[in-house]
Amino acid sequence: MRKYIALISILILAALAVSVSAMTSEPPAVGATAPAFKLVTNEGKEASLSDFQGQWVVLYFYPKDFTSGCTLQARNFQRDLEKYKKAGAVILGVSVDTAESHKDFCAKEGLNFKLLADIGAKVSEQYGSVMEYNGMRLSARNTFIIDPKGKIAKVFLKVGPAGHSDEVLAALAALQSQS
């Protein structure tokens, strides 16, 4: 019986260590090379960061398709999509939802930018954007502006969905004026 309890205790501690390490991964710092990735889009095709080399990239992580905050955030990016295009920037949304869920979310909300399926949360981990919620691992609401050379230019952590697109556009304009 003692061996059984000891084994269970070890397994519980190991599981806690894994979940704590996943939650404490640090986001890449400004000036660092943006972590590379290849994920399936809402269109069912693979997309990688290198596909957007030479462009500004707004890479935003969000918890879940069809939820109120995530829908508001996505709608605001869609509302401002022409402003991003004029600034030479693409928007890429990332969550742990499936490509099929992303496809349905884009169709329902009229989204014309790519959503990427990070089912195993690997990319979310690379960007320090993983959280636990009700026993599930989700992408945390963080955004990264990546410059045309593939470097992290700006980091937004724990963003509020309502005014976030305006905040990103202002930061993007400031960064581009410095270039």
Gap between the Cα atoms of 109 and 107, Å rounded: 6
Residue 126's nearest CA partner among 51, 48, 55 is 48
Question: How far is C-alpha 64 from the geometric centre of its chain's CA atoms?
Answer: 11
Output the six-digit token pair for 17: 């260590």
DSSP label at residue 63:
S
Inter-axis angle of helices 68-79 and 99-109, to 10 degrees?
60
Question: Which among 67, 79, 66, 74 is positioned nearest to 161, based on CA atoms?
Answer: 74
| Positions marked catalytic | 70
Q: Are 22 and 94 in contact (CB under 8 A)?
A: no
Residues for the chain: how many in total?
Answer: 179
Cα–Cα distances (Å) from 125 to 27, 94, 117, 119, 138, in that order, read: 8, 12, 13, 11, 10
